[in-house]
């Protein structure tokens, strides 16, 4: 199945994933993760991208973010990539590519899918069997979004702020979202969306995005096979 051309309109939240080349490790130590997050903070601010959620795993990473300038996400990821690959190759005395091609992205409809993506991202270490609770994993945004740990990296999405009138109320309501795992159907939708560069949302949302960008953001329906002649 072919991947659609990248669509990154300003003001729409997006799910980003980047993997190590051939699924190889791109984070070997806590120092590597600290370095990456420092550059993510620096270049997200520089290129006007709000970071809502993240997780760093051994061989890949996920981000949930909203760009506020045209081409902001690509500029941010390219800037981080240059700095981090240089750092990683120097640290481990290696050369060549680190990432598996370009990063993948998927547009998200706020109301319907936003909190599903928060949960999907921050439950990654749980699904991988690394921890039993997301609070046990340091290298995700769960500590900020659910426990109130201060960080300059995270910018709350307006819908996150609408979870409660006070910080404590927002934190409690956010933690309550994690009482259930992301269901199988949604996992499939999220994975197909990111792997194929689709948009996740209602039919109206899809039409809005396609009208705005003049690009297709849904999978083509499979047609009937052509009848063989002769």
Please tell me the predicted confidence (pLDDT) of residue 4.
45
Cα 57 from Cα 25, distance rounded (Å): 9
Is residue 222 pLDDT above 50, yes or no? no
Cα–Cα dist 133/217, whole Å: 34
pLDDT in tens, 77-95: 999 999 999 999 999 999 9
Tokens coding 56: 């760093």
Q: How far apart are the first and last CA of the chain?
A: 29
> Are 154 and 52 a contacting pair, CB within 8 Å?
yes
Pick from 30-34, 77-81, 218-222: least confident: 218-222
Query: What is the per-residue pLDDT across 46-80, written as a single tens digit (0 to 9) for each?
Result: 999 999 999 999 999 999 999 999 999 999 999 99
Q: How many CA atoms lie within 13 A of 88 on its CB side?
A: 25
Going along the chain from its start, the domains and CATH numbers come out as 14-212 (3.30.70.1290)
Measured CA distances, 136 to 47, 55, 66, 83 (Å): 31, 13, 27, 29
Tell me phi and psi for residue 131, to 5 degrees. Answer: -145, 165
What's the chain's average pLDDT?
Answer: 87
């Amino acid at each position: 199945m072919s991947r659609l051309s990248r669509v990154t309109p300003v003001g729409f939240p997006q799910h980003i994933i980047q993997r190590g080349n051939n699924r190889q490790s791109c984070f070997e130590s806590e120092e590597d993760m600290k370095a990456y997050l420092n550059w993510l903070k620096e270049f997200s601010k520089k290129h006007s991208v709000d970071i809502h959620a993240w997780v760093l795993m051994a061989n890949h990473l996920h981000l949930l973010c909203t760009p506020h300038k045209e081409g902001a996400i690509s500029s941010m990821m390219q800037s981080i990539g240059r700095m981090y690959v240089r750092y990683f190759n120097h640290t481990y005395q290696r050369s060549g590519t680190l990432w598996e091609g370009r990063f993948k992205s998927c547009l998200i409809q706020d109301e319907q899918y936003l909190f599903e993506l928060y949960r999907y991202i921050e439950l990654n270490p749980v699904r991988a069997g690394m921890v039993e609770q997301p609070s046990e994993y340091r290298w995700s945004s769960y500590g900020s979004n659910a426990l109130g740990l201060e960080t300059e990296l995270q910018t709350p999405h307006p819908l996150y702020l609408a979870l409660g009138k006070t910080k404590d109320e927002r934190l409690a309501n956010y933690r309550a979202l994690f009482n259930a795992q992301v269901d199988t159907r949604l996992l499939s939708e999220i994975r197909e969306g990111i792997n194929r560069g689709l948009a996740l949302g209602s039919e109206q949302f899809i039409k809005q995005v396609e009208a705005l960008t003049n690009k297709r953001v849904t999978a083509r329906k499979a047609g009937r096979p052509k009848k063989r002649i002769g």
